[in-house]
Amino acid sequence: MLKELVNAAMPVKILIMGVIPAVLALGLGLALAFSKKTGVITFLLYVVGFMVAFVIFKTLPEYIQKGGPVVIVLITLLILLVTYIIERSLTIGRARGAKPIPVFMQEFREHLRAGNITLAIEACEQQKGSTANVLRAGLERYLALQNSSLSQDKKQAEIQRAIEEANMLETPLLERNLIVLTTIASIGTMVGLTGTTIGMIRAFQAMAHAGAPDAGELARGISEALINTAGGLFNGIGGIVANNYFMNKVSQFQFATDEAVYEMTQLLVIGEK
């Protein structure tokens, strides 16, 4: 079977090396983003990712295969990286909500200024997303305490507590799997460095022969070292860039949520006066 893959036509190799990994990453990324069985899906991702990486390795040009078995690990890490990038993109896109946040906030302000808390809550339910969920928690607690005998300060403290609790539930969703991106970046670099070291050992062994060095083994060792270096750098750079990008997105969400909460509390105070 593997020999048939190696000797397959170029369109088949392109399908194996490009389309199949992309479909795998997209499918598992969707499953990680929307399914609650993340443990099972993560296990499948690791196992299937390694199997696909092995098949891809066997279809690669011979000069890349000279990088040795470490290349299989690097391809597996690349599949994981792409999968988690897709998962983070889908999750953060879902956290935005149904409408752009400025559009939603404009409607939300109008309802609060009109003193219609029920419509404001309905707007949050229709919007969904992290910011809307936090605002809805604050408004629901506000309605629950509106006719209570608590003092104004205690009411505000209770509302603030509800907002903080909702925010604490939303933050892990936004930050989930970001640590995986940094881990892949670190491991990818280390794995590439391991392959580089093995290749250089092979190259120096070829030079250590009595008389003329074995040119073939020397070239193979240097090729192995450089291919693994390139693979490690690719995973490292990709992981760092992806992590920084999504961390920036999370920070923007948190800032937008804090701004919306402050504006909501101010409008509620004005509405009570």
For the chain, the first-to-last Cα distance in angstroms comes to: 78
What rounded mean pLDDT belongs to the chain?
A: 83
Q: Give counts: helices (H), strands (E), the chain.
A: 12, 0
Instruction: Report how far residue 192's alpha carbon sits from residue 71's, in angstroms, rounded to the nearest whole number.
Output: 8
Instruction: Report how far residue 157's alpha carbon sits from residue 136's, in angstroms, rounded to the nearest whole number.
Output: 16
Share of the chain above pLDDT 70, in %: 89
What pTM was computed for the model?
0.83
Instruction: Report how far residue 71's alpha carbon sits from residue 54's, in angstroms, rounded to the nearest whole number.
Output: 9
Residue 239 CA to its chain's centroid (Å)? 9
pLDDT of 267 reads 81
Per-residue pLDDT of 203-220, as tens digits, reads 787 776 655 666 777 777
Which of the four pLDDT bands, split at 50, 70 and 90, describes residue 272?
low
Per-residue pLDDT of 92-128, as tens digits, reads 888 888 888 888 889 988 888 888 888 998 999 998 8
pLDDT of 2 reads 47
Per-residue pLDDT of 1-39, as tens digits, reads 444 444 545 455 555 555 777 777 888 888 887 777 778
Instruction: Report how far residue 167's alpha carbon sits from residue 144's, in angstroms, rounded to the nearest whole number.
Output: 19
pLDDT of 210 reads 54
pLDDT of 218 reads 74
The 3-class SS string of 112-160 reads: HHCCCHHHHHHHHHHHCHHHHHHHHHHHHHHHHHCCCCCCHHHHHHHHH
**In a 3-state reduction of DSSP, which class is residue 67?**
coil
pLDDT of 266 reads 83
